Amino acid sequence: MDLRDAYFVDGVRTWFGRAKQDGHYWTTRADDLVNKVMKELFRRNPTVPWDEVDDNIWGATTQVGDQGTTMGRVTVLTSGLSEKVPGFSVDRMCAGGMTCQAIGTSFIKTGCADIIIAGGVEHMAHHPMGAGADPNPRVVTEKMVDPKYFNMGVTAEKLHDWLPENGEQPVTKDEADEYAYHCVEKYFKALDAGYYNKHCVDMTVFTPNGWRVANFDEQPRRDTTLESIKNLRKFPFKAEGRVTPANASGLNDGACVSLLMSGKKCKELGIKPKMKFVGAAFIGVDPSIMGWGPVPCTEKVLKNFNMKFSDLDI
């Protein structure tokens, strides 16, 4: 173990709720989702000197209301950490939580930190996508972005058209449906094997129908079949398109957190980490095909660290 390398020690998440009024977390604050996973991280790792945490870094999109007030610092106080622990928040939209991991591990690898808490939260029931946003009008008037591409579903349909036009392998609706089905299939296989029970924390929540325990992910449906996905002929973003409610990701509420440590601190505390952090990369792309972003990012990080895609175990 390299003493200055950065390692993933442990991770916890809430079960994910539907971003609706009847979802798990409709009456639960976003920062209380963060408090819950942080406290569970403390409970699971009693040998960690929590008053020595070097930073508490949180990704949160739409940083207003219960996702505002600098999530990383406020939850230091509300979770019971020492007031000496600093904290800050990051907004990189969908990649906010991953960016926090990259920042935290960079602090560790450069000798600025030994213990980092890094996580992400999103409460889309309280803060729907784009709520309260006031984009600079120049973005539209100077034709930087066609306003219809502010909608992620529309960018997904555009990406379907863009792929073959740019020499990339096209994705048919059947392939998208099959991918969605296999994701659900793998999810329930892992759930039944007890995998999620290892890192998901139950939370008692108050709902319009009274108290209940949020102890399952609300979006996946066990009765999903490939036929039911294929037969859903609802195309919200393009007539006879390829993106449907059945093969697209859902709108969720939830939080997840990671404990990151230097090799030096792991050795000092006698902790065996679960993973070593190698590196990260971020690249901007044409906003109208924003879903393409992970591809050049993956190519960049593999090149930076002299790796091939076949080296990865996913």
Q: What are the domain boundaries of the chain? A: 6-129+171-280
- Mean pLDDT in residue range 110-122: 98
Using CA atoms, how far apart are residues 121 and 106, in angstroms rounded to an integer?
21
Give the mean pLDDT of 17-29.
96
Q: For residue 263, give Cα distances in angstroms to 2, 46, 50, 266, 270.
A: 6, 18, 17, 5, 10
Neighbouring C-beta atoms of residue 292, cutoff 10 Å: 19
CATH code of 6-129+171-280, in short, is 3.40.47.10
Question: Closest Cα to residue 89, out of 131, 54, 61?
Answer: 61
* Whole-prediction pTM: 0.95
Where helices occur in the chain by DSSP H, the ranges are 30-44, 71-79, 96-109, 138-141, 152-165, 173-192, 226-231, 263-269, 294-304
**CA torsion, ordered 205, 210, 213, 217, to nearest 10 deg:** -90
- How many other β-carbons are positioned within 10 Å of the β-carbon of residue 138? 9
pLDDT digits over 245-293, tens only?
A: 999 999 999 999 999 999 999 999 999 999 999 999 999 999 999 999 9
Mean pLDDT over each residue of the chain, to the nearest integer: 95
Distance of CA 51 to the CA centre of its chain: 26
Question: Per-residue pLDDT averaged across 181-198, rounded?
Answer: 97
The tokens for 180 are 């969605």
Residues 6+ apart with CB under 8 A from 210: none
Residue of 185, 170, 147, 186 lying closest to 242 (CA atoms): 170
User: In the predicted model, is pLDDT for residue 208 greater than 90?
Assistant: no
Distance between CA atoms of residues 100 and 59, nearest Å? 6
Per DSSP, 215 falls in state: -
Q: Residue 88: which pLDDT band, with cuts at 50, 70 and 90?
A: very high
- From CA 201, how far away is CA 9, in angstroms rounded? 17
The number of angstroms, rounded, from the C-alpha of 44 to the middle of its chain's C-alpha atoms is 21
Q: Which residue has the higher pLDDT, 117 or 69?
A: 117
For residue 175, is pLDDT > 70?
Answer: yes
Tokens of 73: 């610092």
Nearest to 97 by CA among 161, 19, 13: 13
Task: Write the pLDDT tens digit of every residue in 36-82.
Answer: 999 999 999 999 999 999 999 999 999 999 999 899 999 999 999 99
**Where does the pLDDT of residue 314 fall: very low under 50, low under 70, confident under 90, or very high at 90 and above?**
low
